[in-house]
Structure formats: structure tokens, C-alpha cells
Structure 1
Amino acid sequence: MGPELSVNLNAIAMLRNRRDLPWPSVTGLGRIALRSGAHGLTVHPRPDQRHIRFSDLPEIRRLIDEEFPEAEFNIEGYPSEEFLDLVRAARPEQITLVPDDPSQPTSDHGWDFMAQADYLKPIVAQLKGQGARVSLFADADPSQMEAAAATGCDRVELYTGPYGATHSDPEAARAEIARLGETADAAFANGLGVNAGHDLTVANLPPLVARIPKLAEVSIGHGLTADALEYGMAETVRRFVRACGHSG
């Protein structure tokens, strides 16, 4: 049994935002993704709203509540007061905290749990008090997992960007998988669940899943959206579901 697939809608929203028009529809393509086998939808609402807009959040919440009650809404972001207000209103099943500067184009590193555990603990407790599962973005570093668990989070999301960057170097890919696998082992040993995300593809998912068979969830946006331009959203989701180890 492989990980569940959460489809990140940011790239779709960024394409929509190129024009003052309602298409491509973020919720419309989210609906297709969920109908085609995705377990959930992920968004990262940044302060400048350059892709997902704050106004998208209640619409995605409504889509899941009314049409896909078994699906999950995952909202990721830096825990500013503005972000905490957004997730309080949107009631996501999962909140993924990332240490991004608001100006970053995309998430590119995990938390330094040893240095930032005291900062994260009260935020994690607050979010869990709202009934959400809390996941924290993490680098491939086994030595950080004990400190990650000390924050009280439920899961870590392994940052797989360096693994995705090895697409033309099989030896480097094996080294990155080994680091990710060792980090997952350390997370499991400390009682944490493990998600993964960033630059995952149909090609590089199966080796990752083989090394981390207890991987709970993968969140995929850029590669999935790129494939959707070629295969369509429904078939692309089915391809990624199969790459996760499920029939679809």
C-alpha cells in the first residue's frame, strides 16, 4: 500500500492569475483530480497571493465538504498571524508548516528543528487544538528527527527537491533516496508519520516508495501540472496514483 496523493493546485492558480478570468478553474481541476483518485488537495497561500488567492480557500473547502467528504484539504505555509487566521477559517484536515521567507518562489528547505523547536511547539499545539493534523517540512537529515518529534507534530514532510534534481544522474538519485530513507527511518523511530513533496514525478516516485513503503502522503504540483498539459488532469492523476503503488 503506497502513499496517498494530494494534488497541489498552486501552478493551476498561477496560470489562472495571468489573466483577469476565472479559468483554468482551481476548483474545477481540483474536482477532476479528486474524481480521478487523488486523496486530497494542497495549496500554499502566499502573502502576495501570486497563485492561490485567499478567496480560493473557502471554495476548496466547500468542494471537499459537499462533494468529496472523505478527501483531505492540506494547507501549507509559514505560520504568520495572517496564515494562522486563514487556516482557522478554512479548517483543513492537515496543516503543513514551512520555514519559507514570504518572498521565496517555492519552498526549498526544511525547519532546523534543533534550533527552532521552542518556536514551533506552541504553534503546533494551537493548530492541533483546532483538530488539524500538523506536518512540518523537513530536510533529509536523520539527526533532526528527535527534535522534530519534540515539537509535538504528527508528521514531517520530507523535502524531496534535491532528489528531484537528480533526474539525469542515477547515482546521485540513489544517494538522495538513501538520505531520505534514513530520515524516514529516524522519523518512524520517533513516532512520526512521514509525507514527502517537491519535484516528484511519475518516474521518480516508485523508487522513493520502494525505499519508504510506510510513506503516508505525497504532495505534488509542478510535475503533475506539467504532465496534465500533455495527458489531461484525469489521466495524469491516474498515472501518479499508479506510481504511488495503487491501482488507478
Structure 2
Amino acid sequence: MTAKLSVNLNAIAQLRNRRDLPWPSVRHFGKIALAAGAHGLTVHPRPDQRHIRFSDLAVLRALIADEFPNAEFNIEGYPSDHFIGLCLECAPHQVTLVPDDPAQATSDHGWNFMQNRDLLKKTVERLKKKKMRVSLFADGDASQEQLRAAAESGADRIELYTGPYGACHDDPKAEAELAARLGETASIARNLGLGVNAGHDLTVANLPPLVAQIPDLAEVSIGHGLTADALEYGMAESVRRFRHACGDTI
């Protein structure tokens, strides 16, 4: 099984927002990524719109609907009433719920599923009524008890937070240990009936060991590392490199 690649466009949007200009265009780079074989696009519209703007959502959703009907749109965010309203209006294929505080620079931890049981169950039910797949952001070392609470929410998948794994880029021993731990967490989730996604600080170098530990990994969402590579290789070639790292024979 090959993990599907969803290209996160937040970094492109953040660069655009440095000026009051329409470039670089998230639509344009999203189109390049999809044409190069990315399975989908991911965005995280934060309340302050510091990268993806609310107005980008309809544009990207239309790009997929009109030109890449086999691709998927994934929207990440904290389940506030405003965020849920954006999802209901835009109808993405997948919604990934994250426990972020609005002031956070980036997602840096998974849910406490037991503590947030009621919020997540209510939100998942609301989204699934509209035929959206729901994924919940989870720590890479989440316990069986925590993951059972995630499954009981009705969610379809978890997304493993791989930030600590990505941070071990200069420590092969720690990287191998964390890859194995992520594999164990994925196995617990699988046995509870949850699909497994992964995301955060994944690279062409560290993806293959992760895929080896989680052979049924459904999807990876990658933004920072892929955008950094695009400065050197271009967006299309970077997508192909990451697809290969995911196990795609292309």
C-alpha cells in the first residue's frame, strides 16, 4: 500500500502574505502539485489568516472540483463554530481536527481524547452527517486508552503528529526509535478500527523509514519540507520526489 500525498499550501500562502500582492498564488502552486500527481491539497485556515485566507478555500475547492475531480481537499483546524461553518460551506473531502490554540505558531501536540470526548464526538457527528471524512490529530505515543476514546468519537482516522520524529534529523538512533514508536501507535489505532494519516516535518529522507513501520499508512500531509525542496527542485519535481519517498512507483 502506498501512502497518498497531500500537499499543504500554508507555507506558500504565508510567503504570499508578506506583500499585498497576489503571488505566489496558492491556486497556481496547488495546480502544479496536483498535475504532478499529488493526491490532494491541505490547508489550515487559522483565525488570524496569517497564511491561508478564508477566501482561498472556495478557490482551491473549485480547482479540485473543476480540474482534478479524483483529488481530495483536506481542511485542518480547531473545531470552533467559525471553523465548522467554513467546512460546511466548503465541503472538503476530509476535515482534520487539531487542538491548537489560536496563538500557536504551528500544530505541536495531539488531542487529549479522553478530556475532549464530548467536543470531539459532537463535532465528528456534525461533519460526518455532511459526508466528510474526519481525522483527529494524535500524539505519536498516544496510549491505547486515549486512542480508544478517539475511536469512540466516531472519527474515521487519526493523524499522527510526527514533529518529534522530524526533529531527529541529525540523530539516527533516536529517529529509528521514534519511527518504531509511531508504528506501534499506528498498530493500536488500526486494531481499534481507525485509519492512520501522518504529518509534520516529514521529508524525502525520513518518509521511507516511517512508511516501513506503518505499511498501511493512508496519507501524509506535507508542507514545510516540500516547499523548502521546491526552492531547489521546483514544485512539480518535489511532488514527484515525495511521492517516490511514500512508496509510489510513479
Structure 2 gap segments, 5+ residues each: none
Per-residue CA deviations over 1:84-117 (Å, capped at 9, x if unaligned) read 1111111100000000001100000000012111
The amino acid that maps onto 1:8 is N
Q: 1:188 aligns with which of 176, 187, 190?
A: 190
Letter in 2 for 1:83: F
RMSD: 0.6
DSSP-derived class of the 1:194 partner: strand
- Cα separation, 1, equivalents of 2:241 and 2:119: 39
Does the Cα contact within 8 Å between 1:199 and 1:220 map onto a contact in 2? Answer: yes
In the other structure, the counterpart of 1:142 is 143
Structure 1: unaligned runs, 5 residues or longer: none
Secondary structure in 2 aligned to 1:55? helix
Matches within 5 A, 1:37-52: 37-52=37-52
Contact 1:227 1:236 in 2 (8 A): yes
Q: Which residue of 2 aligns with 1:35?
A: 35
Distance 2:28 2:119 in 1: 38
Query: Aligned with 2:154: secondary structure?
Result: coil
Which position in structure 2 is the counterpart of 1:18? Answer: 18
Deviation at 1:175, TM superposition (A): 1.3
Give the drift of 1:142.
Answer: 3.4
TM-score w.r.t. the length of structure 2 is 0.98
What CA distance in whole angstroms lies between the structure 2 residues aligned with 1:41 and 1:183? Answer: 25
Residue 92 of structure 1 pairs with residue 105 of structure 2: no
**How many angstroms apart in 2 are the aligned matches of 1:180 and 1:14?**
30
Q: Secondary structure at the match of 1:113?
A: coil
Contact 1:142 1:187 in 2 (8 A): no
Aligned length: 248
Task: Give the aligned partner of residue 224 of structure 2.
Answer: 222
Question: Which residue of the partner structure matches residue 112 of structure 2?
Answer: 112
Question: What are the residue-to-residue correspondences of 1:173-184 with 2, within 5 Å?
Answer: 173-184=175-186
The answer (yes or no) to whether the contact 1:142–1:184 under 8 Å persists in 2 is: no
TM-score by length of 1: 0.99
Secondary structure, aligned partner of 2:101: coil
1:69-84 aligned at under 5 Å gives the runs: 69-84=69-84
> What CA distance in whole angstroms lies between the structure 2 residues aligned with 1:102 and 1:127?
21
Q: What is the CA–CA distance in structure 1 between the aligned matches of 2:68 and 2:60, rounded to whole Å?
A: 11
State the AA in 1 paired with 2:83: F
For 1:105 and 1:152, the matched residues in 2 are separated by: 29
Describe the SS at the equivalent of 1:47. Answer: coil
Give the % identical residues: 70
Cα distance in 2 between the residues matched to 1:64 and 1:119: 30
Paired amino acid for 1:165:
A
For the residues of structure 1 that align with 2:119 and 2:49, how far apart are their CA atoms?
A: 26
Residue 44 of structure 2 corresponds to residue 54 of structure 1: no
Match of 1:4 in 2: 4
Match of 1:241 in 2: 243
Q: List 4+ stretches of structure 1 deviating above 3 A.
A: none
CA separation in 2, counterparts of 1:14 and 1:38? Answer: 21
